[in-house]
Structure formats: C-alpha cells, structure tokens
A and B are shown apart, each in its own frame.
Chain A
Amino acid sequence: MAEISTNRLKEGMTTQSEVVDKHGHTLIRANEEISKNHITLLKMWGVTSVTVKDSIKELDLDQLKAVYSTSIIDDLAIQANTKLRFIPEDNQVYSFLKKTFIEAEAKRSK
C-alpha cells in the first residue's frame, strides 16, 4: 500500500482504507475502485492524499503474443526468469520487473 497525492490518483486504483473528509465523513469506502467522480469529489472536499493498494497491470503474455510472436514472447519469458533469478518470485517487484523486461525487449525485437 502507499499514500499517494490526489493529483496523482488514477481511475482503477483501489483504496486501501476508508477515505474521510476533515470532519470524519466517509467519502469513499475501503477496497473501492476509484472512479473519475471519486477524484472530483476528493478535490472538491480538499482531500490531498489517499492510501491505495499496490497494483500493476498484470502481465498478459497472450496479449503480447498477439502483437509480437509466440516464439519471441516464450523466449523472453525464459530469459526474464534467468535475469531475475536473485529476486524473490512472490514479490510484486518481481512481477513488475518481469513485465518491464519482456515488454522492452519485445519492442526492441521489432
């Protein structure tokens, strides 16, 4: 989880805890996906930051295979596992770096 400023808040992020205004009134419940209206509401009530859950767009290998080729993406997934061998796999930063590596290399292969 991380506290981020309302200006950096994006639609689709999920609140970690309840968001309240300065009087303690609930503006958004916990575990709620943030919408465009929520962001407007927060700005209107002067809420400057919100705690959101860690999330990144999942690595979608099938989607990448449709754009590049199956063999390239399969090969890059194997390379990524080797390159990231010192990073614990159950960490979010592992998934993020794997996705970053595969996407960057796939783009380069074009």
Chain B
Amino acid sequence: MSLTPEDLIEKCPDLASLPDVYHKLNEAINSPSCTTGIISRIVSHDPSLTLKILKIVNSAFYGFPHEIEDIPQAIVIIGLQQLNDLVLAHSIINLFENKKTAPFSLEEFWKFSIASGLEAKILSSYSKQKSNDRIFVGGLLHNIGKLLMATAEPDLYEVCCQVSRDHNLSCFDAETKVFGFSHMDVNRVLMKSWNIPQSISEISSNYLTPEVSNELETESNFILVAHGICSALGLGTTGEIFLPEISDANVRAIQLNTAQLEESLIPLHEQFSEVTNTFLG
C-alpha cells in the first residue's frame, strides 16, 4: 500500500495538533467581544510564551525605537494578527523540539525557514505590490511539509535527496517519485490538521507554482524568490540540492528588479543572526 501525507501525521501523533494557547487565542481574536485584556490574559498564562513574544517584539525583527514592556503594549503596537502569527511560529517551533530529523538537522531547517520568512518580509517592504501581512509566517512555514517527511520517514527522505542528486531531479520531482507526493501536499494536510487559517496554508503551500495561488499569487512569488536567495546564500538548509525554477517573470510579478534583490541582502544579513537566535533561543 502506498504512503499518504496523513500516514506521516499518524506516525507522529504528538505533531498532529497545536497547543491549546494558540487555539484559545485564535478563538478570542475572532470573537466579537474580544478585548486586549482577554488576549493578554491568555498569553500571560504561559510565562515562557510571554517572554518569547516580548523578546521578538523588542528584536531587530521589528526594530522599534523604544522597549515594549508588556503584552498589552505589544498588542497595541504590532496588532492582534501579528501577535497571533508570532504565537503560531513559536508553537510550531516548540512542537518539533528535540525531534530527530535526517538528512538535515532541526537547527539548519529552522535557520533556513526563518531566513526565508525574513527575506520575504524584506522584499515585500521594497515592493509597491501590496501583499498580505502574513508573509513572514508564510515564509517560515513554506517547507514545514519537508520537516514532517524528514521526521516521520528520515530514511526515505535521505533516499529522496539521493535520487534528486543522482538523477538531476528537482526536490519536488524526487519527493513525488519516492513518496508519491510532495512536501507541498504535506504542507496542506498538516496545516489542515493544525487548523491554520487558509490564507497561510495557501501562501506557503503553493510557492513552487505561484500561478495556482489565485489571489495569493504575489505572496507565493515573494516566498519563491526569498527561498532562492536564502538557498544561494546557504543560510541553513533543508537538504535541497538544486534551487527551484525561478525566472525574471517571478521577480517582475512582485515588481522588483535584481538590483533591489541585491540591496535586500544588506538588511537580511543585519537581522538574520539576531532574529534566528530570538526565535530559536
């Protein structure tokens, strides 16, 4: 019998759902009677989460000139959706903590993912093309399917990389050959299991084929280009041998040029280490 993305989740039942705090927060944000007080209480109930959120909002990731001292202040400054996305990012990074993966390490995987999210966010700030402000979390999670594949079936994922190298196949084609599906399929199934908003799932699960994302094509293009740049820079790795297909049309679609891509490397290098340490530390 052939393997399905659902089988991978079944093999790792502890990865099948996100912690309560994320769902409680989501529910509260979507409720008509939502107040800053209610949200603050939910977040403050988890001291390590509170500390993490404050560390992130005070880091180079936002670059605010004054220190943000508590959650209510953070909500006012970054807004509820951004707070929700940070809790989501923190919850997912925590969920995989101490998992054994192969052929890439957990640390290298997250470095690449954080770099991609950060670069997508920087590129979108350069562009006149309006984009969804969930672009960072979309970039952070665009390869999460690979992480589940490498956690649930490390030997098979190692074979995948070998097949890609030996037969000059893209990561997508090698995965489809070995597993019968790609990490983009796993992304979709995993995000559904986590009950993550459709927009984040769309942005991150179609980055190799932005044209199918419909309204979110721009965001997927940002993530594809950011992926290519971080991969060329070697900021972390997900075991991919070749860069995915990217053309000038993808760059034009986000209304940028190569000179601007080059310019974006400066803030990326400036922020990468601090942001990575803040999220992973």
Contacts and interface: CB of A to CB of B under 8 A. Distances in A.
Q: Is chain B found bound to chain A in the same assembly?
A: yes
A8 B233 CA distance: 23
A96 B261 contact: yes
Contact of A87 (B234, B245, B265): B245
A104 B234 contact: yes
Interface stretch (A23-31, A36-44, A65-73, A78-86): A78-86
A92 interface: yes
Nearest to A85: B242
Per CB-CB distance, the 6 closest pairs between chain A and chain B, nearest first, are A2-B257, A54-B257, A101-B232, A100-B232, A86-B245, A96-B258
Interface residues of B, number: 30
A105 B257 CA distance: 23
Contacts of B168: 85
Contact of B243 (A1, A55, A87): A87
Interface of B: 126, 128, 168, 170, 225, 228-229, 232-234, 241-248, 250-251, 255-263, 265
A82 B166 CA distance: 12
B259 A93 contact: no
Nearest to A87: B246
Interface of A: 1-4, 8, 10, 13, 52-57, 82-88, 91-93, 95-98, 100-101, 104-105, 108
A44 to B, nearest CB: 23
Contacts of B242: 82-86
Contacts of A98: 232
Contacts of B234: 101, 104-105, 108
A56 B244 contact: no
Given A1-B257, A92-B258, A97-B229, A86 B244 contact: yes
Contact of A93 (B126, B128, B228, B263): B228
A52 B255 CA distance: 12
A98 B243 CA distance: 11
B251 A93 contact: yes
Given A93-B228, A96-B261, A86 B255 contact: no
B106 to A, nearest CB: 21
B247 A87 contact: yes
B229 A55 contact: no
B258 to A, nearest CB: 4
A88 B243 CA distance: 12
B96 to A, nearest CB: 27
Contact of B247 (A54, A88, A100): A88
Nearest to B171: A86
A55 B259 contact: yes
Nearest to B170: A86
